[in-house]
Amino acid sequence: MSDVAREAGVSPMSVSNAFKRPEIVQPETRERILTAARRLGYVPNGVAGTLASGRSRMVAALVPSIRNSSFARTVQGLSDQLAEQGYQLLLAVADTAERERQAIESVLGRRPDGIILTGNEHHPDTIRLLRQSGVPLVETWILSGPILDMAVGFDLNEAAQAMGRLLVSRGYRHIGFAGYAPAERSRFLERQRGFQAALREAGLRDDLLFYAEETAGFAGGRLAMAVLRAQEPRLDALFCVTDIFAVGALFECQRQGLVVPRDFAVAGYGDFEIAAEVVPGLTTVRTRGYEIGRAAAHLIVERAEGGIPAPRIDVGFEVIIRGSI
């Protein structure tokens, strides 16, 4: 920077201003500075800037997986929104509470202007570290329950209940549930609760439950069908907590010669791209992962610039009806 200042015949201060607050420096001085900078290939050192100003224009995000379409959408939303506002994204993929703790610790050393988390279940040490740091926080994909600072999500319970009711209204009477293990995690549990509530309302049994690992992929749906049909041979429908399980179930029906939805109905969750393409189309809950990412980034930036945004944002959901039920 001092090189640029010398080259342009001004003080370092003016160079700094020419980059950060161009309107404050006289047009011709600014021009001289920018020309000198270009000639020297000068790129301002943001590290020094962060240290001096205490603002990093960097936001960290922790996601459990990048392969999952939902979180991929969220990351895309974060990335788009942050880029638009001149911020950068520090990404950490952490699929366990322990890895999350480690990631948080190293991320905190970078002094981000905010941290975006997934869900509301964290290691106690993580919570302590975050609280201590005072950094603005957004928890995503969850809306109810205790939150640390801010949250962006939708009503998981209601979304699952809506789909449960739809299945009931279509006349299915032995409806299974394919969920994520471990089932006690609140992000997972709320969906199950909503589903069960809908079945109980209708006086149907609500204990046809199967749990597969988040990483199970399409196999989750196949396994759920096998296990639940063994448990209840009259099983006529399956609600899956992810379209991936649901599409796996559809493929399994195809292999077994079951005609969907005549012989068996399948409903999903996520409205991933494949839901609209598979034959028959998948009836599913459309979640708004991209919007969650954008909203979360927006909250952090608002706070970083001194605003006091609403602490909880509900991006909603939608039931998309296609041919699979």
Partner DNA sequence: CTGAAAGCGCTTACAG
Please give the radius of gyration of the chain, using alpha carbons only, rounded to the nearest integer. 25
| Contact between 106 and DNA per CB under 7 A | no
- As a dihedral over the C-alpha atoms of residue 180, residue 182, residue 185, residue 188, rounded to 10 degrees, the angle is 10
Contact range with DNA by CB under 7 A, out of 13-21, 59-67, 117-125, 195-203: 13-21
> Looking at 11-19, 225-233, 286-294, 302-310, which segment touches DNA (CB under 7 A)?
11-19
Contacts of residue 101, Cβ cutoff 8 Å, sequence gap at least 6 = 122, 123, 125, 126, 129
State the DSSP code for 134. Answer: T
Contact (Cβ atoms closer than 8 angstroms) between residue 261 and residue 239: no
Site for DNA in 132-171 (CB under 7 A): none
Among candidate residues 3, 35, 33, 36, the one with its CA nearest the CA of residue 20: 33
44 forms part of the interface with a second copy (CB under 8 A): yes
Question: Between residue 53 and residue 92, which ones bind DNA under the rule CB under 7 A?
Answer: 53, 55
Tell me which of 64, 164, 194, 248 binds a second copy, using CB under 8 A.
248
277 binds, among a second copy, DNA, none (CB under 5 to 8 A by kind): a second copy
* Stretch 200-239: interaction string toward a second copy, x if CB under 8 A: -----------------xxx--------------------
User: 283-286 and 175-181: which strand pairing?
Assistant: unpaired
Distance between CA 99 and CA 96 in Å, rounded? 5
CA distance linking residue 50 with residue 62, whole number of Å:
21
d(CA 79, CA 293): 8
Q: Does 29 bind DNA (CB under 7 A)?
A: yes
User: Does 47 sit near a second copy (CB under 8 A)?
Assistant: yes
In the list a second copy, DNA, none, the entry touching 144 (Cβ below 5 to 8 angstroms by class) is none
Q: Which amino acid is at 314?
A: D
| CA-wise closest residue to 96 among 68, 121, 75 | 121
Size of the site for DNA (CB under 7 A): 24
Q: Determine which helix (DSSP H) or strand (DSSP E) holds 152, and give its type and residue range.
A: strand 150-153
With contacts defined by CB under 7 A, name the span among 4-12, 169-177, 221-229, 238-246 that binds DNA.
Answer: 4-12
Give residue for tokens 């068996």: 264
Applying CB under 7 A, the residues found at the interface with DNA are: 1-2, 10-14, 16-17, 19-20, 24-26, 29, 42, 44-45, 48-49, 51-53, 55
Applying CB under 8 A, the residues found at the interface with a second copy are: 41, 43-51, 56, 58, 65-67, 69, 72-73, 75-76, 79-80, 83, 86, 88-93, 99, 102-103, 105-111, 128-129, 132-133, 217-219, 247-248, 251, 254-255, 273-274, 276-279
